[in-house]
Structures are given as structure tokens and as C-alpha cells.
Structure 1
Amino acid sequence: MEEGSDYNFAKRKGTFASLHPWVYIMKDSQGMIIYVGKAKNLKRRVQSYFQQSKNHPQKIIKLVHNIKDFDYILTDTEFEAFMLECKLIRERKPLFNKMMKSPQAYNYIVFEMNQSFRTFEITSTKHERDGRIYFGPYPSKNRVEQAIFGIKESFKILCSSNKKSNSPCLNYSLGLCMGMCRGGPAIKEYNKILDNIISLLSGRDMSILEEMKKRMAAASENFDFETAAKYRDRIEAISFLIKKGKVLDFTEKNKNIVVLENLSEETYKLFLIKRHQILFSEKFTAENVAVEEHATRIKNYFKQDVLSPNREVSKDEIDQAQIIYRYLKGSHCSYFVIPEKWLLKKTNASLEKALIKLLNHKSPQLS
């Protein structure tokens, strides 16, 4: 790509070794982008590909063999480097960025509720209006499988019978199935556990997680460290699902977010964020701050936004959504959320007041 293109690729001599957030783009002999990455110390990162090559995995060895050209972009913040890297990988689908290239990396947990004997499983596809309950998408199938298996094993709902013929399955004899396959009262208890799992994934009821923590503590007190470690791994996998659920919920609410990050003692970067996108960004100094002008500009940008409200997060959006969520919950920035009613008002008084607090590092994180 030429300098001045959409991504402003530039080879800046003399700044290559500086400690700044960078995005680097590797190309093959045909000019195709084969890998996109990010680094704070670009010189050290680039050198790492070509030094001690015998210790590299085959993927890196093959990548280095195919590199014929190299571009890099300097960004103001690490957050921008993350977002640009994600955008380039999603749009260009480089050969060596396989993790974000494959849609199969994302999975859902689906509950079938139309039967007296409910079921739930992992799926890579979601069908609209099919009467089932979906959670996700989640970016790690392995973590999802680990969490689901852990819940089933812990609460003895690991039934190995596909047909409920009122006869015990093999896992019943092993103590892994409470006997749903036999019918009767066990089905009612089983369905109650599934309701609790749905509440857990919805973030409404953490009782399943708390019960597993108690069992882990009890196993540890009894010096049964193997069982305690098993519960620890299950809890971590379930916590992963809950955390990703919070990201999805936060993103789907389609908040109007104003973010401020300090670049130096006198310089700031202002971001306007909605859903999984940066709508606007600007760098300014403390001396030239015009709060009223900023407030008007912010209102105009959010009012012009055409993103659909309260839409579910798709697989294509999940990476950017996670980056934004981590950034906002981290310590590198201050932010607040603009209520929709502020955008409908003729005056900017409420928005100006919130901006002044933000510039004074009070960060009124309004809901």
C-alpha cells in the first residue's frame, strides 16, 4: 500500500527503535499481507523473528521465509494499536493470523427448551427465532467445552443416554448421572439445574459457581488436591464464560461513550466510542481545550451515528468489543457514558459539566 492510503502506512526513519505503540504489516513477494501484529518496542519485535530462528515454531519459520516487504504504523495509544491490528486482520484475513480468520473459533451454548427433558450443547451456528436460548459467541471452544463438562460432571447431569427410555445409562452406574434417563423426579431436579445454568450465564445467579468454590475449598481442606485442582479449572472456565457475557451485554447496550487518555502531562487523546467502533478521535493539549466546542462536536457525532440499537454482537464484532471493554475497565483511561436524553436536549450543559469532570480526572462513569 502507498503512503496516504486508508491506513496511512509509513516507514518513518529514525523512530524505528522508539517505545511507542506500533502495528506492523508483513507482505510476501506478491505484495499480499500475510501477517499483522502489534508491538511497543518495534525494533525488538522485528529482530525476534530473525534471531535464534532454530528455536522458532514452524509457523514462524515459514512466515519469516515468506516475508519480502514490511510496513509499520505508529499510533498514539496502545488501544489504537489493538483496534487497528484487529481491523486489518478482519478485513485482510492474513494467512498467518489464523485465529481471527476462522469463524469456527467462535461458539454458542444453546438450550433446547421445548421438550419436557431439556438439553443443552455447544454449536458454531445460531439460528434466529428457533425457540431456543443461545449464549455467546465465545472465542474459545476449548474453554466452553471445559466449562460445560465441568458443570455436568459436578452436578451429576452427565447422562450418556440419547434416548430417555426409563432405563439407567452407563454414567448412572458410574455416579456421573443423577438418573434423568430413568425418568421420574430426577427430570424435575435436572430441569431446575438447567434453569440455574441459564441464570448463571445470564449473570443473574452465581449459586452454581459459589457451590463449586465451596467444593474446591472442602477438597483442599481434606488434602484432596487433585479434586481441588479439578474444581479450580472448572471455576476458571466458567468465569471465562461469565466475563465474556459481560462484554457482550455491555456492547449490546450500544452506549455513547466519551473516553479520555493522557498521552503526557499536557497532551490528551479524546475518543468517541459506540458498540465496537471508534466513531471519532482527536489529540489536543490542555491549553487549547474548548469544552463547549467539544460538547457540540460530541453531540453531533453521536446523533449522526446509524448503528442499530440493542443489536446482538456478531462474530465479526466480538474481537473489537473485547478490546474496547478491556480498555475501558483498565487504568489507562477515564470515561463516561452519555445518556440518550442528553443528545435530545437543545443545550449542552449536562455534557459540558461531565467533560469538565473528565478533564479533571474525576471520570463520572455514568450508566
Structure 2
Amino acid sequence: MSINLPDKVKNLPLTPGIYLMKDSQNQILYVGKAKNLKNRVQSYFRNSKHHSPKIKKLVKHLRDFDYILTDTEFEAFMLECQLIQNMKPLYNRMMKSPQSFIYISINLTGKYRKIDIAFNPIEKDGKVYFGPFTSRSNVEGALRGLKECFKLNCSNPNGTNSACLNYSLGSCLGRCLGGPAEQQYNDILDRFIGFLKGTDRSILEDMNQMMLNASEAFDFETASAYRDQIQTVSSLLNKEKVIEFTEESHNIVAIERLTDSTIKLFLIKRTEILFSHSYAAAGNIEEKIKTNILAYFKQDEANTDGDVSRHEIDAAHIIYRYLHSGSCSYLIISDNWLDPENHSTLDLALKNLLNNPQHFQPPIYHE
């Protein structure tokens, strides 16, 4: 029996959720999320001339779709992430590069060091790796900014003790000539490694001083270039914060208001929603929330700290963005609060979270 897709789309609700595109064999071709299901799914059937070739191909094979409603856009994001990981639909894989995670690699072996990007780190290969990062363009822009700022663009990296073309153009500090410039180059890379590890910010301090010097000399074009380079290099550290935060495996209570009379509770550990439930905003609900916190956040649970896997990265970014979006109020639960002797502290924190949500969004990290 043929399904009338336009009519089915018209009956979709204007609420958040997940849609699952299917072919004639009832196989899931694509999983997507939406803040507004009806508008999002309708977009596949109009303005086709603006669609990418992959979207056009998807629509051509589309014969039906299912959908799952969620209370919030955050839940739709998380459910989409989970379903894609479990189902691995064809078009989700086609629309996401297999090299979607990127690393910075610095070769520490041999006389001549090299900074580059990598997609698959290799253990014990003489290189140090940083990442993973999810945006190739951001990483490439940051490395380009670093090289331009500190004149690391040597076009003769193997060293023949003769000046390379970039040296004559002023974009190489002279590493190709050997001697002091070679040691200077290595020192800069050592400081950059310290920057990526979070132990040395002198790279940024020097870049800021270069920007200030250019500005004081009324060379505003150069100062603007330095400013852009500082932003791209700084973005590497910001990306790492998402990974660092996830590795710490916090116990997180997040509350989002659905309506004037309803709130949604999420209990989150690392990259997993352990529990979610809707409550009437009126009345004393602190005790109900506290009961769930004590049930799902265990003091004696196995330590889940450790490196964030590739499968967790997408969920980690979703959670991190959600906590900083202003859509919710959140609270990080200390392990000590789970001790019966400290339940009064937990009670007070929950009361503040529920009664003053707009003021109770403690920053996760301070700059």
C-alpha cells in the first residue's frame, strides 16, 4: 500500500523530536532531529533546487518515515546521537566524513620536528597527539595562525642549510638555515605543546603582545590579523574543555521549564542521561528530585573517568552546549553531598536551583 507522504507530513506536530527516513524495504536511511518536526520534514519536499546532491538522492529513495516525539530539543539531539550510533544509517554515514575527528600531531623524533594534522593516532610512533577535535577547519585555521604569527612556514623543512623561498618572503624564521633559528623553532613547538596541555600560556601572551605592538604603531591591519590568529589558536583550548569536562564524569542535575506549570528534570552522568521526568512546577518537588538523585548517582559506583571515546564526543558536545545555552538551569552534584551526613547541603542546593533558576547556573570553567 502506497503511503501519501505529503499528507503524513501535514499531520506532523510542531514539536521537537526525531524522524527516521525509510526506503521501500522499510530500512532506515537517515535519522534526523528537529526542534519543529513538521517544518523540518517539510523542508525535504520543497526548494529541491537548493538541496545538496545527497539530500536529493535521499528524497528520491524515501518511501516512508517514522517519528519520535520529545519534550525538549536537547532530548532530540541526544536521541538522534544514540540512534545514529546504534543503527548507522547509510545517509548519516554519507553526510558525515569518515575523517570527522581530527588530531594535532607533533613529531618529536629526529632533528627536524613537524607539526601536522592526523585522523588516526598511532601509539609509540614518536609523535605527540592532541585531540580529538570535531572541526577540521578550526584546527587548520589555528595551525595556520600559529605558523604565520611565529614564522614557522618553512618550505624546506628537511634542512639543507640554505634559505627557503618562504624565508626570503619573511614567513620562515630561518629553520632551514639551522643554527639558533632551528632551536628557536623547537622552543616554540615546546611552548605550543605546553599550551595544548594547559600548562603554558606564553604562546598567547606573546601573540597578544604582538597585537599590542602593532596597534601602538598604528598598523591596525596587522593588529587585526594578530587578533584573528589569537582567536583561532584560543579555540583549540576551548574545544579541549568539552573533552576535559566529560572526562571528569560529573553528576549533573539539569532542569528545563516546559510550560508555566511544568518542568523537565535530567540526571546526567558523563555522556548519558540516567533519568528524565516531567514534574508539575507547583508544590514541593525537592524531595522527589532528591530521591532520584540518590538512586541514580551512587557513591560506590565504578570510576568512569578516562579518555572520551569517539562515540562519546558528539554526545559530549551536545551536553556541554546545552548546559551553557541558557535553556536550562543546572547543578553539579558533589560526591560528598550523597553522604547521608551531607544531605542538608544537597537539600539547600536543590532549593536554590528550583527557586532561583535564573541565578543558579554556576560556571563549569573559569577563563
| TM value normalised by structure 1 | 0.84
Per-residue CA shift, 1:288-345, capped at 9, x if unaligned? 5442342232122121785643311121111110110010011111111112222344
The within-5 A match list for 1:44-59 is: 44-59=39-54
Output the amino acid matched with 2:271: H
Q: Is the 8 A contact 1:76 1:263 kept in 2?
A: yes
2:12 aligned partner? 16
Q: Secondary structure of the residue that 1:309 maps to in structure 2?
A: coil
Supply the distance in 1 between the matched residues of 2:217 and 2:108 (Cα, whole angstroms): 39
Supply the distance in 1 between the matched residues of 2:177 and 2:285 (Cα, whole angstroms): 72
Output the amino acid matched with 1:76: D
Moved more, 235-244 or 188-197: 235-244
Q: Is the 8 A contact 1:36 1:85 kept in 2?
A: yes
Offset of residue 158 of structure 1: 1.6
2:3 aligned partner? none
1:363 aligned partner? 360
1:312 aligned partner? 307
The within-5 A match list for 1:2-41 is: 16-18=12-14, 20-41=15-36
Output the amino acid matched with 2:22: K
The within-5 A match list for 1:297-336 is: 297-303=292-298, 308-336=303-331
CA separation of 1:197 and 1:13: change in aligned 2, threshold 3 A: closer
2:5 aligned partner? none
Q: Among the aligned pairs, what percent are the same residue?
A: 51
For structure 2, list consecutive stretches of 5 or more residues without a partner in the other structure.
Answer: 1-7
Offset of residue 139 of structure 1: 1.1
CA RMSD of aligned residues (A): 3.1
2:53 maps to 1:77: no
Output the amino acid matched with 2:191: N
Q: Secondary structure of the residue that 1:29 maps to in structure 2?
A: coil
Q: Is the 8 A contact 1:17 1:43 kept in 2?
A: yes
Q: How many residues align?
A: 355
Moved more, 267-276 or 215-224: 215-224
Offset of residue 161 of structure 1: 2.8
The within-5 A match list for 1:1-367 is: 16-18=12-14, 20-98=15-93, 101-115=96-110, 117-128=112-123, 132-209=127-204, 211-212=206-207, 218=214, 231=226, 234-287=229-282, 289-303=284-298, 308-360=303-355, 361=357, 362-363=359-360, 365=362
Output the amino acid matched with 1:363: F
Supply the distance in 2 between the matched residues of 1:305 and 1:22 (Cα, whole angstroms): 35
Output the amino acid matched with 1:58: P
Q: Is the 8 A contact 2:149 2:229 kept in 1?
A: no
CA separation of 1:265 and 1:230: change in aligned 2, threshold 3 A: same
Offset of residue 207 of structure 1: 4.6
CA separation of 1:55 and 1:347: change in aligned 2, threshold 3 A: closer
Supply the distance in 2 between the matched residues of 1:13 and 1:68 (Cα, whole angstroms): 12
Offset of residue 175 of structure 1: 2.2
Per-residue CA shift, 1:212-259, capped at 9, x if unaligned? 46656848986775x677556544533432221111111111111111
CA separation of 1:72 and 1:239: change in aligned 2, threshold 3 A: farther
Output the amino acid matched with 1:86: C
Supply the distance in 2 between the matched residues of 1:13 and 1:34 (Cα, whole angstroms): 17
CA separation of 1:249 and 1:178: change in aligned 2, threshold 3 A: same
Structure 1 runs of 4+ with >6 Å offset: 12-15
Supply the distance in 1 between the matched residues of 2:306 and 2:116 (Cα, whole angstroms): 24
Output the amino acid matched with 1:40: K
Supply the distance in 1 between the matched residues of 2:48 and 2:143 (Cα, whole angstroms): 40
1:9 aligned partner? none
Offset of residue 91 of structure 1: 1.9
CA separation of 1:262 and 1:307: change in aligned 2, threshold 3 A: farther
Output the amino acid matched with 1:31: N
